[in-house]
Amino acid sequence: MQQDWIMGFAGGLMIGLAGAIFLLVNGRIMGASGLIGGLVDRSGWGNASERLSFLAGLILVPGALVLMRGGYDNHLTDNLTVIIAAGVLVGIGTRLANGCTSGHGVCGISRLSLRGIAATVTFILAGGAAMLFFRHLLGAI
Amino acid sequence: MVRNLFAALAGAIFGLGLLLSGMTDTLKVQGWLDLFGAWDPTLAFVMAGAILPMAIAWQMTRVRGGSVLGTAFPTKPDVRLDPNLIFGSILFGAGWALAGLCPGPAMATATFSGAGGLLFLLAMVAGMVAAPALKTRIARLGAAA
């Protein structure tokens, strides 16, 4: 357990370092949902190549590492209904709220943005409530 | 070119950090949200680790005129908490709990999370396509209320 916390903190430092590079060098906020969402709804086509480059690094480099190390099980559910519902909710929700865990959680809280803090508290509480409902009351996940 | 290179570098470090932190494991994320089950506090350590360098970076933006590549730093958004922010975060939180995936880890695991992972991404993109129309409506409702 404590090993996980240390790895969590170390991985977190890397996530923050990535965000710091993207902010200080590129002048952009590292928000995963915004980077892809702007490509999807065309609002971010003005800097599409920068977005695509970020996403390429994000998708391909962990992919290469996992390939070299012989696989990784992310324990994703095999319930297709749950997967589709979850994906749609994450897609709509992050675009309505203009951010997700990286944009609001990491980049927002670190600049003491009221919106970032409010969004993070809200999605954690909503996630906790959903977990209580779907896992402990319905037994669906 | 340099801009794309640094964007790719940031994306790569972000992805490796997600992997190292365990946030690409849906069980660990669901464990964080499972307050009434086997609660896993790892995500709090990840957040603390990530906020530290970012807070320093934000401080550095105060003394620098702009980013290294010349783009102006993003301005602090309006402090108003609008209905879209709160309603959207509720929907996102629910989806996050259901599968244990948020957009960053969903993309970082895209090449190795099988058909399920790709299906999640497809559904997420579909949701992102639908969002702008809904957003305008919610904003209008919020203004009327």
Q: Which residues of B touch A53 (CB under 8 A)?
A: 3-5, 7-8, 11
Each residue's pLDDT tens digit, A88-117: 999 999 999 999 999 999 999 999 999 999
In this predicted structure, what is the pLDDT of residue B79?
77
In this predicted structure, what is the pLDDT of residue B26?
98
**Nearest by CB: A36 against B3, B87, B103:** B103
In this predicted structure, what is the pLDDT of residue B65?
86
In terms of residue numbers, what domain contains A129?
77-141
In a domain, A105, yes or no: yes
Reply yes or no on whether the pLDDT at A131 is more than 80. Answer: yes
Alpha-carbon radius of gyration of chain A: 17
Q: Each residue's pLDDT tens digit in chain B (145 positions)?
A: 899 999 999 999 999 999 999 999 999 999 999 998 899 999 999 999 999 999 999 999 999 989 999 999 998 877 788 999 999 999 999 999 999 999 999 999 999 999 999 999 999 999 999 999 999 999 998 888 7
User: CB of A87 within 8 A of CB of B124?
Assistant: yes
In terms of residue numbers, what domain contains B15?
1-76
Positions of E strands within chain A: none
In this predicted structure, what is the pLDDT of residue B143?
83
CA separation for the pair A30, A96 (Å, rounded):
17
In a domain, A86, yes or no: yes
B83 and B127 co-located in one domain: yes
Return the axis-axis angle of helices B114-144 and B83-99, rounded to nearest 10°.
Answer: 160
Compute the nearest-CA separation of B54 from chain A (Å). Answer: 5
CA separation for the pair B18, B26 (Å, rounded):
12
Nearest to A98 by CA among B42, B6, B33, B89: B89
Each residue's pLDDT tens digit, A41-90: 999 999 999 999 999 999 999 999 999 999 999 999 999 999 999 999 99
Do B117 and A25 count as a contact with CB atoms less than 8 A apart?
no
Interface with B, mutate which of A41, A69, A83, A102 (most B CBs under 10 A):
A83
Length of chain A: 141
B55 and B117 co-located in one domain: no
Q: Does A63 touch chain B (CB under 8 A)?
A: yes
Query: How far, in Å, are A10, A36, A104, A122, B94 from residue B81 at the CA level?
Result: 32, 23, 13, 12, 20
Q: How many domains are there within chain A?
A: 1
Do B35 and A131 count as a contact with CB atoms less than 8 A apart?
yes
B99 and B145 co-located in one domain: yes
In a domain, A7, yes or no: no
> Which tokens is A91 given?
């897609």
Q: Does A86 touch chain B (CB under 8 A)?
A: yes
Q: Does A48 touch chain B (CB under 8 A)?
A: no
**Complex-level ipTM:** 0.97
B66 and B83 co-located in one domain: no
* Cα angle A134, A138, A141; round to 5: 50
Compute the nearest-CA separation of A70 from chain B (Å). Answer: 10
B16 and B68 co-located in one domain: yes
In this predicted structure, what is the pLDDT of residue A52?
98
B66 and B97 co-located in one domain: no
Q: How many domains are there within chain B?
A: 2
In this predicted structure, what is the pLDDT of residue B80?
84
Contacts of A115 (CB under 8 A, 6+ apart): A104, A108, B77, B78, B79, B80, B81, B85
B30 and B46 co-located in one domain: yes
In a domain, A31, yes or no: no
| Average of per-residue pLDDT values in chain A | 97
